[in-house]
Amino acid sequence: MFWQDPQFGERLITMMAALVLVLQIMMVAQRGLVTNIRAFGLQSFLLAAIAATIAHFNHAPHIYVVAALTLIFKAILLPLVLERLVAKIEIRLEIEPFLNVPVSVIVSGFLTLLGYVVAESFHRPEEAGPASLGHNTLAVAIALFLIGFFMMINRRKALTQVLALLCLENGLFLAAISLTFGMPLIVEAGIFFDVLVATLLLAILIYRIRETFDSMDVSRLSRLKG
């Protein structure tokens, strides 16, 4: 059956990884905060599906646990929390980033290309097993990391910088499950909940910044220098 064919698994994961990358670039080009939050939620859903697929084809049941946590917390809970935060602060559009949208998309394209170049140096066809599914997804993982880091630098609003941090973590997550079929479960769970707690704390901080300065533009914080 096709569901037992590793080549089918490779094609399925490659397709989902490509959609994850498209969503990441869309977030770079999108100024709407709610749209960005929902794109992150869909991206996390696809990552959970990738993890579940890798778990199936590589008989790694512990990855099912990580996939379920990703689905519940990153694809459902965090987007709901962040959307409620947007409704409270009543700011729905990102102000102009440091680089405009066309230039940002071009930079994202170059970072994607760099991700594929770096990933190619790790590819060892002679060492790949019959169920190895990591070659194509590693390039996407590196691209996610680089584009997430670029978004953190390029965006001015604290909320979009939090989303960029979460996308960066998504890249690390994808690299872990595609290269090693998951780190030890206790390590993955620890990292996962650290990111979750950090995001919730940052959400509270964003709300306080908005209440105090009537803005989420982090560049204005430089005015606090004495």
Encode pLDDT of 126-155 as tens digits. Answer: 555 444 555 678 889 999 999 999 988 888
Domain ranges of the chain: 2-218
Round to whole Å and give the CA distance between 103 and 108: 9
List the structure tokens of 143: 């691209």
Regarding pTM above 0.85, the answer is no
User: Residue 93 has what pLDDT?
Assistant: 67
CA separation (Å) from 62 to 69, 104, 128, 156, 181?
11, 38, 21, 38, 9
User: pLDDT, tens digit, for every residue of 30-41?
Assistant: 878 888 999 999
Please give the pLDDT value at position 111: 94
Average pLDDT estimate for 30-54: 90
Q: Is the dihedral of CA 92, 96, 99, 100 positive or negative?
A: positive
Name, in order, each residue with C-beta under 8 angstroms of 58's C-beta and a sequence gap of 6 or more.
Answer: 131, 133, 181
CA distances from 22 to 17, 106, 108, 179, 194 (A): 9, 13, 11, 21, 27
- Give the pLDDT confidence of 63-85 residue by residue, as tens digits: 888 888 889 888 998 888 888 87
DSSP string, 69-80: HIIIIIIIIHHH
Q: Are 138 and 119 in contact (CB under 8 A)?
A: yes
Could you report the per-residue pLDDT of 190-224, keeping only the tens digit for each?
556 566 666 666 666 665 555 555 555 555 555 55
Residue type, 223: R
Number of residues in the chain: 226
